[in-house]
């Protein structure tokens, strides 16, 4: 496993990180075995959010990670999502951030997280209030560093104007061979402000693993076949996209990689990326994904990938954008 610095922080994170998204109805023993497999292969960066299972994901890791010394891993969580049936129990107001950080720490059984991220932007709250509340979390020692996920460049620039150039160390955008939008502006913005990227869905919701085949129904138990499927998967599951992904098979085979390893190595070719968040349904997947950290793709392989995909990669808002545009400022 190789490690990269997280933005302007002094923290190093493993190039492959483990994400825990849904924990309701998931076997806790399976989560434990996947987590232990991560430690076995040098994965030391763990990502979750308060809204995943309305705290269930944090609680699961709170029980599991206590078995490891606190300084042996880097822990990240997020704030924004709805945490109860009350629609007001969400967002990035000062009151919500103060409430949710304490609740997250209780579930995670730690006195601080290494990275606290705004899961989405909150256009209903003055940005000055959100920035001050996040900075207060750091001042109190409840988080070491701050990040954001799926903010527009306008929103990031406005926040940095308020909070200073060291406000954020990380961004968490969607990024994969099939979703390259961050290359247009976000990567350059990060370079200007010392912000690195911890990317989610590097396997395009599993499409880049090759599990979905053209003309075939999604395999039983897969995300596309189950209740977790969302409309955002539809463009990824088009016959045209799946046919393009099929053309990656010989490219991966030629360099002795699985489809997943090829996709992860492709993401990690960018120095702007600090880590690629991966999920796992069994420990063997953790081991296989971790092996991508040692892979450097040559120019010929990168060209072959682009040839295989043609004009399929999404570089604009074909998938529904997660970021809500706009910034609310006090007195404006």
**pLDDT digits over 57-82, tens only?**
999 999 999 999 999 999 999 999 98
Q: Rounded mean pLDDT of 164-178?
A: 96
Above 60 in pLDDT, residue 316?
no
Active site residue 73: no
Query: Which distant-in-sequence residues (6+ apart) come within 8 Å of 116 by Cβ?
Result: 76, 77, 78, 79, 101, 134, 137, 138, 142, 143, 145, 146, 147
**Closest among 108, 116, 109 to 139, alpha carbons compared:** 116
pLDDT of residue 235: 75
pLDDT of residue 320: 47
Above 50 in pLDDT, residue 318?
no
Residue with tokens 């109805």: 25
pLDDT tens digit sequence for 242-252: 999 999 999 99
pLDDT of residue 244: 95
pLDDT tens digit sequence for 257-302: 999 999 999 999 999 999 999 999 899 999 999 999 999 999 999 9
pLDDT of residue 324: 76
pLDDT of residue 229: 52
pLDDT of residue 84: 87
pLDDT of residue 319: 46
| Band (313; pLDDT cuts 50, 70, 90) | confident
Above 90 in pLDDT, residue 254?
yes
| Band (221; pLDDT cuts 50, 70, 90) | low
pLDDT of residue 19: 97
Q: In 267-283, which positions are buried (b, 16+ CB within 10 angstroms) versus exposed (e)?
A: bbeeebbbbbbbbbeeb
pLDDT of residue 232: 60
| HEC profile of 218-236 | CCCCCCCCCCCCCHHHCHH
- What's the whole-model pTM score? 0.93
Distance CA 118, CA 172 (A): 9
State the catalytic residue, choosing from 52, 145, 175, 212.
52
Domains of the chain, first to last: 3-202+267-290 (3.20.20.100)
pLDDT tens digit sequence for 96-121: 999 999 999 999 999 999 999 999 99
Show the tokens assigned to 273: 């990326």
- Mean pLDDT of the chain, nearest integer: 92
């Amino acid at each position: 496993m190789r490690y990269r610095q997280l933005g302007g922080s002094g923290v190093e994170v493993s190039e492959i990180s483990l994400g825990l998204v849904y924990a309701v109805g998931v076997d806790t023993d399976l989560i434990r075995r996947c987590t232990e497999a991560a430690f076995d292969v040098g994965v030391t960066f763990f990502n979750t959010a308060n809204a995943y299972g309305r705290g269930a994901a944090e609680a699961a890791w709170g029980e599991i990670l206590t078995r490891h010394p606190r300084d042996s891993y880097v822990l990240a969580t997020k704030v924004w999502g709805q945490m109860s049936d009350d629609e007001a129990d969400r967002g990035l107001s000062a009151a919500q951030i103060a409430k949710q950080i304490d609740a997250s720490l209780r579930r995670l059984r730690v006195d601080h997280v290494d990275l606290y991220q705004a899961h989405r932007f909150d256009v209903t709250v003055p940005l000055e209030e959100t920035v001050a509340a996040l900075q207060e979390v750091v001042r109190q020692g409840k988080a070491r560093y701050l990040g954001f996920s799926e903010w527009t460049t306008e929103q990031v620039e406005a926040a940095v104007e308020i909070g200073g150039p060291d406000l954020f160390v990380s961004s968490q955008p969607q990024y994969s061979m099939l979703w390259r939008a961050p290359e247009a502006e976000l990567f350059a913005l990060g370079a200007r402000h010392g912000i690195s990227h911890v990317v989610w869905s590097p396997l395009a919701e599993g499409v880049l693993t090759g599990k979905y085949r053209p003309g075939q129904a999604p395999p039983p138990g897969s995300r596309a076949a189950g209740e977790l499927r969302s409309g955002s998967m539809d463009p990824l599951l088009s016959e045209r996209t799946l046919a393009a992904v099929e053309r990656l098979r010989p490219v991966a085979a030629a360099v002795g990689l699985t489809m997943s390893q090829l996709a992860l190595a492709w993401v990690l070719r960018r120095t702007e990326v600090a880590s690629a968040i991966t999920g796992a349904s069994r420990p063997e997947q953790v081991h296989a994904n971790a092996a991508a950290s040692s892979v450097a793709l040559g120019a010929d392989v990168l060209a072959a990938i682009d040839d295989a995909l043609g004009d399929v990669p999404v570089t604009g808002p074909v998938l529904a954008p997660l970021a809500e545009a706009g910034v609310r400022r006090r007195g404006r």
